[in-house]
């Protein structure tokens, strides 16, 4: 049964040990780089949700979801505005071609469709032109090329279907539960509530 677990002070050390095959290294940043990017996103008013991918208790990969852009992403593609981003995905070389990548995308999309940072029309991603495995995998979920590029990478976009927005995340100047700890330039969503949302997602799993 596959599940996503929010990155934390304990699992981060195992996540840092995950790696892809030599010939795949050009396709994805290493997890230490991704986690540094997650940190600078959070410290610059951005949103990011990094997760370990677990089969029961076995850590098999890493996935990172983004929303919109932080204050310093000057050359962000237009599609980044107000949309979610399947930002990083890797399955450790020991566990590839067992169906984990496909199931991890399903879980990531389920998480995105809870709209933790507010409603959005699209989920987008990008991949290196040579990464045919990723291209085929993403397109099997309905992602389509738009002609836009993110640097050297091809951008693909998926339209998010209308979903009920969970009522568990609230806005306003105060959070009843957590006081006044907020993030967000476009939504007044309590940071702690967002993370509870992430914890809740841990219970979503697939056989």
Ligand X SMILES: CC(C)(COP(=O)(O)OP(=O)(O)OC[C@H]1O[C@@H](n2cnc3c(N)ncnc32)[C@H](O)[C@@H]1OP(=O)(O)O)[C@@H](O)C(=O)NCCC(=O)NCCS
Which residues make up the interface to ligand X (CB under 6 A)? 20, 24, 27-28, 89-91, 96-102, 127, 131, 133-134, 137
Which of 100/182 has CB closer to ligand X?
100
CA 91 and chain centroid, separation: 14
CB of 34 to ligand X, least distance (A): 11
CB of 35 to ligand X, least distance (A): 16
CB of 79 to ligand X, least distance (A): 15
CA–CA dist 111, 102 (Å, integer): 14
Q: Do 62 and 18 meet the contact criterion of CB atoms below 8 Å apart?
A: yes
Which of 94/119 has CB closer to ligand X?
94
Q: List the structure tokens of 83.
A: 């949309």
Place of tokens 């986690």: 35
The burial of 188, by beta-carbon neighbours within 10 Å (0-12 exposed, 13-18 middle, 19 or more buried), is given as middle
Which of 1/173 has CB closer to ligand X?
1
CB-nearest residue to ligand X: 101
CB of 22 to ligand X, least distance (A): 11
Which of 52/101 has CB closer to ligand X?
101
Beta-bridge partners for 63 = 51, 89
CA–CA dist 65, 113 (Å, integer): 12
């Amino acid at each position: 049964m596959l599940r996503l677990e929010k990155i934390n002070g304990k699992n981060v050390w195992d996540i840092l040990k995950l790696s892809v095959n030599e010939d795949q290294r050009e396709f994805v940043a290493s997890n230490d780089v991704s986690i540094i990017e997650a940190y600078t996103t959070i410290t610059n008013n951005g949103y990011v949700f990094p997760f370990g991918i677990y089969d029961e208790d076995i850590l098999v990969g890493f996935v990172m979801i983004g929303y919109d852009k932080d204050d310093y992403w000057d050359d962000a593609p237009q599609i980044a505005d107000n949309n979610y981003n399947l930002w990083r995905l890797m399955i450790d070389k020991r566990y590839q071609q067992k169906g984990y990548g496909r199931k991890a995308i399903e879980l990531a999309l389920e998480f995105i469709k809870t709209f933790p940072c507010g409603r959005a029309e699209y989920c987008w991603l990008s991949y290196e032109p040579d990464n045919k495995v990723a291209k085929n995998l993403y397109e099997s979920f309905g992602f389509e090329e738009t002609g836009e590029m993110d640097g050297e990478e091809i951008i693909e976009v998926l339209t998010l279907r209308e979903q009920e927005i969970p009522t568990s995340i609230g806005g306003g100047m105060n959070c009843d539960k957590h006081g006044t700890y907020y993030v967000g330039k476009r939504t007044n969503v309590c940071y702690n509530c967002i993370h509870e949302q992430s914890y809740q997602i841990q219970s979503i799993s697939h056989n």
